[in-house]
A and B are shown apart, each in its own frame.
Chain A
Amino acid sequence: MPDFRFAVAVMPKPGILDPQGRAVEQSLGHLDVEGVHDVRVGRRVELTVQAPGEEAARAVAARLAEELFSNPLIETYALELLA
């Protein structure tokens, strides 16, 4: 069975307070950077799924993204086929 490599990008939902993003933003002055705003920090998970076809592999990755990698109450995710 072929391998399919996916990336799942998980981000805090819009409107959810993201203290990590805020802390990063507050430190930008130390780097003498100006004009940067709305910093949000998420996470990225990459995984390889062995499946008969892309559709089946994508279904597995989507299930994991929804049930494990993200919490739908507070986060959104985007699934991307890498290879």
Chain B
Amino acid sequence: MRVGVVRFPGSNCDADAYHAVELAGAEAVYLWHEEADLHGSDAVVLPGGFAYGDYLRAGVLARFSPIMRSVAVAAGRGVPVLGICNGFQVLAEAGLLPGALLRNEGLRFVHRWVALRLEGRGTPFTAALPEGIVLRMPVAHGEGRYYDEPARLDELERGGRVVFRYIDNPNGSLRDIAGVRNEAGNVLGLMPHPERADEPLLGSADGLLLFRSLVESAAAMMGARR
């Protein structure tokens, strides 16, 4: 399995994401924002950082890059896409995920470990994990407060599309939402950093479970096709 890791100007978790993909047993390739070519990626990761400096609004300028047009087409075909932190902001701005990420309620950049509860297994990144499992990983963001209109939040909840919820909400996210998925389930965005929690030496290896789940889901799908 080949997983593309997108590099925007200002991405800074790209190498971590690359490392996590390889640790999970897949082949990682970097994808350049100015190119439309996904280089045969079976899945795509949009890493954290400050794409295009986060100017204007976090994620909005990256949304219009050539690579994002290809990612949007691939996502429409069912290719798994994972947006982490800034990558989540890009997916929300691109309309590939619902809602918006607003400035943290406390105005501070929050940089600490959080606990998340897995509530949605309907994505390849979570299918191999037990529902209700609590994962520890770091957050590091200034604009992570998940927002959508109440009716749309209800819709997300009913559809099981709230994938992760904070146990200790660090940013004022509505309904403690840390991660959501699209309707089809192949696109997932979350503010915490699974790629920064992929080895015990870093304090937790919980984040690696998402990448392993992706690899296992892909293998299961290949098996089903045969």
Q: CB-defined interface of A55-78 with B at 8 Å, one 1/0 digit per residue?
A: 000000000000011010110000
Across the interface, A23 reaches (CB within 8 A) one of B56, B57, B107, namely B107
What distance in Å separates the Cβ of B151 from its nearest Cβ neighbour in chain A? 12
Cβ A74 vs Cβ B147 within 8 A: yes
Across the interface, B107 reaches (CB within 8 A) one of A19, A68, A71, namely A19
Chain B facing A: main interface SS: loop
What distance in Å separates the Cβ of A78 from its nearest Cβ neighbour in chain B? 17
Given the interface pairs A17-B172, A68-B56, A68-B60, the reply to whether A73 lies near B100 with Cβ below 8 Å is yes
Cβ B56 vs Cβ A69 within 8 A: yes
> Which A residues are in CB contact (< 8 Å) with B145?
17
> Which A residues are in CB contact (< 8 Å) with B102?
16-17, 74
Q: Which range holds the interface residue count of chain B?
A: 10 to 19
Q: CB-defined interface of A20-46 with B at 8 Å, one 1/0 digit per residue?
A: 101100000000000000000001000
B103 at the interface (CB under 8 A from A): yes
B213 at the interface (CB under 8 A from A): no
B99 at the interface (CB under 8 A from A): yes
Across the interface, B103 reaches (CB within 8 A) one of A19, A43, A73, namely A19
What distance in Å separates the Cβ of A23 from its nearest Cβ neighbour in chain B? 5
> Which A residues are in CB contact (< 8 Å) with B106?
19
> Which B residues are in CB contact (< 8 Å) with A73?
99-100, 147-149
8 closest residue pairs by CB, A with B: A19-B107, A74-B100, A73-B100, A19-B103, A23-B107, A71-B100, A19-B105, A71-B57
A interface vs B, CB < 8 Å?
Answer: 16-17, 19-20, 22-23, 43, 68-69, 71, 73-74
B interface vs A, CB < 8 Å?
Answer: 56-57, 60, 64, 93, 99-100, 102-107, 145, 147-149, 172
Q: Could you give 23 example pairs across A and B, Cβ below 8 Å?
A: A16-B102, A17-B102, A17-B145, A17-B172, A19-B106, A19-B107, A20-B103, A20-B107, A22-B107, A23-B107, A43-B56, A68-B56, A68-B64, A69-B56, A71-B57, A71-B93, A71-B100, A73-B99, A73-B100, A73-B147, A74-B100, A74-B102, A74-B147
